[in-house]
């Protein structure tokens, strides 16, 4: 790149600074309200506590299911050439571009008791609409693309020749995966899982349609805001922001240098 002139440097720096401050400003404003006193008060609120526990648990379950189903797929996408690979890849990325309430409505139609699938599942006692499993499937729907694409990149970063070397040293295919690929991709997979978890924690649009009650944290905040106004929503918002920031820092530490 040619050396920019003084003016272009000023313009570049100015525009960049504006956007950075635009992100930092509001968050900082909210964070400044997080005094020990206000946090203590927020955590004494049993309803808020329950919603945070519910959010953390459902997001964790969604992440575990996402990992169980998504890691084999991520490995397949990273390593194998098969017909329809690009189509599968596209389908996995679809939830990213679908507005979340739309996803919620689609899930409602698919899993509601009047649908074939929903009806069948309800008959064995698994209900989604206005039940906790509804939260989990909504979270799974929006977070799995993040997990799969992150894990796929993690697998792709491991040289496939290493598995071949392991095979010639006596490992079975599974043994080579377990002893070589998994440890080498581990950090990337963990980072992808945490990002997917964070995405689940922050989900609102699809959950609000599928399961308004019991309330996850994001719906709890929305509910407090609409029912009791801004001051009532702030403590919960602060707590959720702190959870998100912690996750963010952990992911940054885990990610390999070049992605930071």
Partner 1 sequence: MIRLENLHVRVGDFDLRDISLEVPKGGYALIIGPTGSGKTTLLEAVAGHARLQSGRVFMHDDEVTDLPPERRGLGFVYQQYHLFPHLSVRDNIGYGLRRPGNGGNGSAAGTRIGELAELLAITPLLDRTVRGLSGGEQQRVALARALAPRPSILLLDEPFAAVDPATRLVLRRELRDLHEREGITTLQVTHDFDEALRLGDLVAVLSEGRIAQSGRPEEVFRYPNSAFVARFVGTGNVIAGTVERKEPGGAPGPFRGVFRGDTLALDVVAEREGPTHAVIRPEDIVLSLTPHPDSARNHMTGRVVRLERSGPVTLVHLDVGRQLLASLTTASVEELGLQAGITVIVAFKATAIYLV
Positions 135 through 174 that interact with partner 1 (CB under 8 A): 159, 161-162, 164-173
Closer residue to partner 1 in complex, CB, 162/247: 162
Number of residues that bind partner 1 (CB under 8 A): 18
Torsion of the alpha carbons at 85, 192, 206 and 111, rounded to the nearest 10? 60
Q: Is 229 left (phi over 0), alpha (psi -120 to 50) or beta?
A: left
Closer residue to partner 1 in complex, CB, 79/179: 179
Helix residue ranges, H only, 157-259: 160-168, 173-176, 182-202, 205-210, 217-228, 230-254
Quote the least distance from Cβ 260 to partner 1, whole Å: 19
Quote the least distance from Cβ 190 to partner 1, whole Å: 14
Quote the least distance from Cβ 159 to partner 1, whole Å: 7
- Tokens for 12, please give them: 């570049």
Quote the least distance from Cβ 170 to partner 1, whole Å: 5
**Contact with partner 1 (CB under 8 A) among 26, 40, 183, 229:** 183
Closest CA to 234 of 98, 31, 75: 31
Closer residue to partner 1 in complex, CB, 98/184: 184
Cβ atoms of 142 and 148 closer than 8 Å: no
**Residue written as token pair 């599968």:** 88
Which positions from 199 to 218 touch partner 1 by CB under 8 A, shown as an x/- string? --------------------
Cβ atoms of 58 and 140 closer than 8 Å: no
Quote the least distance from Cβ 256 to partner 1, whole Å: 12
Give the residues lining the site for partner 1 (CB under 8 A).
Answer: 159, 161-162, 164-173, 175, 179-180, 183-184
């Amino acid at each position: 790149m040619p050396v920019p002139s003084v003016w272009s440097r000023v313009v570049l720096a100015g525009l960049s600074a504006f956007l950075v401050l635009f992100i930092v400003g509001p968050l900082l404003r909210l964070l400044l309200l997080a005094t020990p006193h206000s946090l203590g008060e927020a955590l004494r609120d049993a309803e808020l506590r329950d919603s945070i526990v519910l959010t953390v648990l459902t997001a964790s379950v969604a992440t575990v299911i996402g990992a169980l189903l998504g890691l084999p797929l991520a490995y397949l996408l990273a390593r194998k050439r098969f017909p329809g690979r690009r189509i599968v890849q596209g389908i996995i990325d679809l939830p990213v571009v679908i507005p979340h309430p739309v996803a919620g409505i689609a899930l409602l139609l698919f899993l509601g008791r009047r649908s074939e699938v929903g009806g069948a599942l309800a008959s064995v006692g698994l209900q989604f609409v206005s039940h906790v499993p509804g939260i989990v499937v909504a979270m799974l729907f929006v977070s799995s693309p993040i997990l799969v694409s992150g894990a796929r990149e993690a697998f792709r970063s491991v040289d496939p020749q290493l598995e071949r070397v392991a095979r010639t040293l006596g490992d079975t295919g599974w043994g080579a995966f377990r002893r070589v690929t998994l440890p080498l991709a581990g950090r990337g997979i963990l980072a992808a899982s945490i990002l997917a978890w964070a995405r689940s924690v922050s989900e609102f649009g699809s959950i609000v349609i599928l399961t308004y009650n019991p309330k996850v944290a994001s719906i709890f905040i929305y509910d407090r805001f609409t029912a009791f106004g801004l001051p009532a929503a702030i403590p919960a918002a602060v707590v959720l922001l702190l959870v998100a920031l912690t996750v963010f820092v952990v992911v940054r530490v885990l990610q390999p240098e070049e992605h930071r």
